[in-house]
Structure 1
Amino acid sequence: MKKILLALTAVAAMTGSASAADLGARPYVKAPMPAPVANWTGFYVFGGGGGGLSNADQHVQTTGTNTALTIDQRQGGSGWFGTVGAGYDWQFSGTWVAGVFADGQFGSLRATIQDPIGGLTGNQKLETSWAAGVRLGWLVAPNVLSYVNGGYSGAHFGQTNFTNVVGTPAGIHLNSYNRNGWFVGGGVENSLNIFGVSSPGWFMKTEYRSAFYNTKTQNELFDGTNALVGRDIRANSWNQTISTSLVYRFNWTGPVVAKY
């Protein structure tokens, strides 16, 4: 009897060892790595330039007569400009960025002004402008931000000197003036750490902006005396621009991968 029990015990032990050997080793599962993140919160400065188009709805009217003669028309133009500015961004909810900024533009964005009643033509130049606004963006990638923006804008328009139908100075002008308005736009900002070149903190942004300035009524004046000619021009201004700027972020630390 004892021999039988010993034999059965030996068989059971051998069967268990064989079953354990047949089981495969537990597979190794690597812990998932977090997606790279970047820190967009902080101050930045930028500078660049671009070009644009200018359009204006104009209303020309004679004054000082019993029956005023009026003409409505739309005129346009184009030109270039430079820009500088600064801002501050906050990153929240991982991939969202909100910020405030201010910038200034300078250059020569010209629009045609015509007085068909008097046979006069001139150029009105947007010499300087400035803007203050907010922007909201989403991180397409850790180092690429797509955004929209909007806010308040002011502009200085230079003096308009008219020429007559044969192209010679007419001795008539419109004074320079300032106008206020608002703008909307959007763009893309991306890190310059590309093509294997390390440039921490340096970015490039390309932006479209559409600015609208309030209507202004001006009197045509004789050169030298500023006496009234007898015609008024009322016009608004709508400017569309595209610019590319070099951006420097003071606290750029990403993208990085969290450590465990």
Structure 2
Amino acid sequence: MKRLLLAAAALLSVATAASAADLRARPYAKAAPPAAVVAAYNWSGFYIGAMGGYGSETDAGSGGFGGGTIGYNWQFPGSQFVFGIEVDAAGASIKDSVTEDFGGGLLVTSETKINSFGSVTGRAGFAIDAALLYAKGGYAWANNKASLSAVGVGAFSDSQTHTGFTIGGGLEYMFAPNWSAKGEYMFTSLGSETYNFGGIPADSGTIDLHTFKVGVNYHFR
């Protein structure tokens, strides 16, 4: 019995040693280093586009507009920050009309209409591959026509160009190698101008304009 136990122990010892040697000899492959993250899109370069939307004055008129955009973006390789400059202009029909009774049957109608507006802005954004979240701000202008009319008195009108500032932001998405779509909100504040109605001057007061626009841009690569 003792010899049988000794033989079993020897056999077990040999098997354990062989297994350990086999474990030591088994090769292990090292994990490959992670691949460098490379941005799939780069926003640098010139672009042109078309845009349109809806605008409203604070406590006043509203209406639609449509126009064009031209701009340039800078994005350094390996960076997600995008900087640019953008110029846009639009024809518009943002208008308001009010009729007031001054007594004695005198009804006076006053009308205002923003015929066109535009801006020159700087733009700064953060790119996440095909998406660009951005803010923008700068110089703004608008051409506005105002008129007064009363039955039995006559009608008078004048046009003035107002200037001021605009600020806002939006989201742009590159849906094809050279094409992007955007949605944008802008707040515009324009200074007062003096209108002349038949020799009678009238101060317009500040024009505050809210615009919501969508657009499509073509990027030159």
Could you tell me whether the CA contact under 8 Å between 1:144 and 1:190 is conserved in 2? yes
Could you tell me whether the CA contact under 8 Å between 2:92 and 2:117 is conserved in 1? no
* Pairing of 1:173-188 with structure 2 (within 5 A): 173-188=156-171
Shift of 1:32: 1.0
Identical columns (%): 26
Residue 193 of structure 2 corresponds to: 216
For the residues of structure 2 that align with 1:25 and 1:106, how far apart are their CA atoms?
Answer: 73
Shift of 1:36: 4.1
Residue 31 of structure 1 corresponds to: 33
For the residues of structure 1 that align with 2:27 and 2:152, how far apart are their CA atoms?
Answer: 95
RMSD: 2.6
1:94 match: secondary structure = coil
Shift of 1:170: 5.2
Shift of 1:248: 0.9
1:192-230 C-alpha deviation (Å, 9 max, x unpaired): 1xxxxxx32110011111111111122322xxxxxx3x5
For the residues of structure 1 that align with 2:18 and 2:220, how far apart are their CA atoms?
Answer: 65
Residue 109 of structure 2 corresponds to: 121
Q: Which one scores higher on RCO, CA 8 angstroms, separation ≥ 6?
A: 1
- For residues 248 and 184 of structure 1, do their structure 2 counterparts lie closer, same or farther at Cα, with a shift above 3 Å needed? same
1:131 match: secondary structure = strand
2:121 to 121, 130, 133: 133
Residue 206 of structure 1 corresponds to: 183
For the residues of structure 2 that align with 1:137 and 1:101, how far apart are their CA atoms?
Answer: 13
Residue 41 of structure 1 corresponds to: 44
Residue 103 of structure 1 corresponds to: 88
For the residues of structure 2 that align with 1:213 and 1:113, how far apart are their CA atoms?
Answer: 21
1:151 to 131, 134, 138: 138
1:249 aligns with 2:219: yes
* Pairing of 1:152-171 with structure 2 (within 5 A): 152-158=139-145, 160-164=146-150, 171=154
Aligned residues: 203
- For residues 149 and 119 of structure 1, do their structure 2 counterparts lie closer, same or farther at Cα, with a shift above 3 Å needed? same
1:19 match: secondary structure = helix
Residue 77 of structure 1 corresponds to: 61
Shift of 1:231: 6.6
Q: Structure 1 length as normaliser, TM-score?
A: 0.69
For the residues of structure 2 that align with 1:124 and 1:201, how far apart are their CA atoms?
Answer: 40
Consecutive unaligned residues of structure 1, counting only runs of 5 or more, are 1-12, 56-74, 193-198, 222-227, 252-260
Consecutive unaligned residues of structure 2, counting only runs of 5 or more, are 1-13
Shift of 1:52: 1.0
- For residues 31 and 79 of structure 1, do their structure 2 counterparts lie closer, same or farther at Cα, with a shift above 3 Å needed? same
2:192 match: secondary structure = strand
1:54 aligns with 2:39: no
Shift of 1:191: 1.3
Shift of 1:124: 1.1
For the residues of structure 1 that align with 2:165 and 2:153, how far apart are their CA atoms?
Answer: 34
For the residues of structure 1 that align with 2:63 and 2:79, how far apart are their CA atoms?
Answer: 40
